[in-house]
């Protein structure tokens, strides 16, 4: 089966559009948007940090949905299940990417702005736990025996989905008992004059995330199809040998 040229053209167009949006967002964030009063130019990392943090919370949902679809189709329609598994793998990797960047950029921002690298409040701890859960998901995918990868990682994905809200609530309760520094702007929303930078960067990084995820998905599908071809050839070869 051949990748149609329409898909390839759409992919190229999307990529060029993504780069264009990211360039506009960069210009907005660094040059056009007014400087924030308390933190000065340091605050501009926020336009990089916020999209990654938000998107790091959205891609896990794609992974959970794909994992549930895999578990549903596993016995009913194995080919659809394979596609769901490929999407789960791709979205998990993109999740780890975005959450890592969110954590790292947050720490870089926090130290000069608030004097501490890290705080164990509900939001940050849940974010770190999300990273730990999805890294363990990728490890399960790597270490699992062939043929079981989809099922085992889908089950872990369900556990991860249940764990994240529980962690958030338990640490929230812990922090109402023992208040600790809370990171990030906890006041009202963002000033209206800063919004263009936020929106352009959010859109740009979302488009980038979708592009990378679908690229990885296509790679995984190709690998699966190559595997199926090889298996089919092996079966046919074994049928030809005289019994």
Partner 1 sequence: MKYLSHIFNHLRKDLRLEWRSRDAINGMLFFALLVVVVFALAFDPTGFPTTTRQISGGILWVALLFASVTALNQSWTRELRNQVLEAHRMAPAPASALFLGKAIANLLFVLVVEAVLTPIFIIFFNLQVLGNAWLFALILPLGTWAIVVNGTFFAALGLRARNRELLLPLILLPVSLPALLMMVQASTGVLTGELDSIQIRTWITQLAGYDIIYTTVCILLFETVLNAE
Please, are residues 43 and 112 in contact by the beta-carbon 8 Å criterion?
A: no
Within 78-97, which residues bind partner 1 (CB under 8 A)? none
Measured from the CB of residue 4, what is the shortest distance to partner 1 in angstroms?
A: 35
Smaller CB separation from partner 1, 139 or 195: 139
CB of 207 to partner 1, least distance (A): 30
Q: Are 175 and 145 in contact (CB under 8 A)?
A: no
Count of residues of this chain found to bind partner 1 when the rule CB under 8 A is applied: 28
In angstroms, rounded to a whole number, what is the distance separating the alpha carbons of residues 91 and 94?
5
Provide the β-strand partners of residue 40.
36
Helix (H, G, I), strand (E, B) or coil at 2: coil
Q: Quick one: 144 or 190, whose CB is closer to partner 1?
A: 144
Which of 2, 177, 186, 241 binds partner 1 (CB under 8 A)? It is 177
Residue located via tokens 């990748």:
3
Q: Which of 173, 223, 230, 234 binds partner 1 (CB under 8 A)?
A: 173
Could you tell me the smallest distance in angstroms from the CB atom of residue 74 to partner 1?
8
Q: For residue 215, give the H/E element and its range.
A: helix 195-240
Mask for 34-73, x = binds partner 1 (CB under 8 A) = -------------------------------------x--
**CA separation, residue 148 to residues 56, 140, 142, 207 (Å):** 27, 10, 11, 32
- What is the residue-wise DSSP string for 75-86? TT-HHHHHHHHH
Name the β-bridge partners of 36. Answer: 40
Footprint of partner 1 on residues 112-171 (CB under 8 A)?
A: 129, 132-133, 136, 139-140, 143-145, 147-148, 151-152, 155-156, 158-160, 162-163, 166-167, 170-171
Shortest reach from residue 78's CB to partner 1, in Å:
13
Of 104 and 173, nearer to partner 1 (C-beta) is: 173
Contact, 97 vs 215, CB < 8 A?
Answer: no
Which lies closer to partner 1 via its Cβ, residue 100 or residue 144?
144
Q: Which of 166, 165, 125, 134 is nearest to 67 (CA)?
A: 134
User: Which residues make up the interface to partner 1 (CB under 8 A)?
Assistant: 71, 129, 132-133, 136, 139-140, 143-145, 147-148, 151-152, 155-156, 158-160, 162-163, 166-167, 170-171, 173-174, 177
């Amino acid at each position: 089966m051949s990748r149609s040229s329409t898909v390839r053209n759409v992919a190229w167009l999307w990529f060029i559009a993504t780069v264009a949006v990211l360039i506009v967002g960069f210009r907005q964030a660094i040059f056009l948007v007014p400087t924030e009063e308390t933190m000065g130019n340091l605050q501009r990392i926020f336009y990089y940090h916020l999209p990654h943090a938000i998107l790091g919370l959205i891609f896990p949902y794609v992974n959970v949905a794909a994992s549930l679809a895999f578990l549903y189709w596993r016995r009913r329609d194995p080919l659809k299940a394979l596609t769901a598994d490929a999407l789960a793998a791709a979205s998990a990797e993109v999740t780890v990417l975005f959450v890592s960047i969110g954590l790292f950029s947050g720490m870089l921002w926090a130290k000069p702005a608030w004097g501490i690298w890290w705080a164990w409040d509900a939001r940050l701890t849940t974010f770190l736990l999300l990273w730990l859960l999805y890294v363990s998901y990728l490890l399960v995918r790597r270490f699992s025996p062939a043929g079981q990868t989809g099922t085992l990682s889908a089950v872990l994905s369900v556990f991860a989905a249940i764990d994240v809200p529980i962690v958030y609530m338990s640490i929230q309760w812990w922090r109402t008992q023992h208040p600790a520094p809370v990171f990030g702007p906890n006041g009202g929303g963002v000033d209206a004059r800063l919004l263009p930078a936020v929106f352009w960067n959010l859109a740009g990084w979302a488009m980038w995330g979708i592009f990378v995820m679908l690229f990885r998905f296509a790679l995984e599908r190709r690998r699966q199809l190559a595997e199926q071809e090889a298996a089919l050839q092996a079966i046919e070869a074994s049928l030809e040998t005289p019994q």
